[in-house]
Structure 1
Amino acid sequence: MESLRARLTRVGQSYAPHDHRPLGGYLAAMGGFTALAAALAATAKITGKPAPERPSAADVVLLSLATHKLSRLIAKDSVTSPLRAPFMRYAEPAGAAELNEEVRDHDNTFKHGAGELISCPFCLAVWVATALTGGLVLAPRLTRLAAVALTATAVSDFLQLGYDAAKKAAEGD
């Protein structure tokens, strides 16, 4: 009988014959996300903390901005590069304290898939939004406080970039 790894390799080669797609790594990521969502749902059920009927618009905006910031912080920030180092290789600076990196291990589909996930703010946003939303149900005060700090940082980032652009415009650059 064909092993799961061999089958995934065969399916991956027929799926994308001219490009390496780490389908096994993607399956592992989907399994991890499913486990996260199930754990949050189970914890909410066990603790008796119901999901809100309808989240407030303020919470949606707060968590959206916090999700943006935390996703970029994990995926691109220079300071968080040690978290990505086992999966990524430094390529070049990307401006505003961010880095461009490349997936380190193309032969190991699980490490490759994890590298793509951990270095992509768009991919991470689903995980971060799910965790923050779960936090809003399980520990709303603490989650809102953390989200406020992340949101304030995101707004500050945009103000810093706007200030730099205005300064360069004033100097004629």
Structure 2
Amino acid sequence: MRFREELVLNIQAPREAVWAAFQDFSSWPTWAKAIKEVSRVGSAWRFKARGQPPVDLVWVAEATERRPPEFLAFRSVPGVPHNLEISGWLRLDELPDGTTHLELLFEGHPHYDSPLLDKAADWYASVFGEPNKLLKVTFEQFKAHLEKTHRAQGLSTALT
């Protein structure tokens, strides 16, 4: 089952802070409930997320285009073991009030070594809305994490 998800969020934090937090992949498991672990694989990153029971979603992605702090394109790394092929991009625009407008396109499809697991994953995704739901929830958590961090930094600056 192929999926395509487009997300748009406005985050109450400066663009540079959003860019830095997005690329701090190793911290994702601390604020994203579905992300179990993130590790480095050469110049790419391996993500492991809670997926269709009993199988986790695993993808290894690398940047294909990077224009800090406004644009990042990414895709799965060919030949590296994973069960979710992905591609997409992230665009960040700073609004006049200091809010960051985030747009994300995330496309992909799960694939497993077993045709039976592929069929089970398709069924589970059609019934429960994975991985689209996972992506939406994760980026709502990203927004909440950033806004909380930005408010806390603003308070500590105001107190000094």
Normalised by the size of structure 1, how large is the TM-score?
A: 0.32
* Greater strand share, structure number: 2
Normalised by the size of structure 2, how large is the TM-score?
A: 0.34
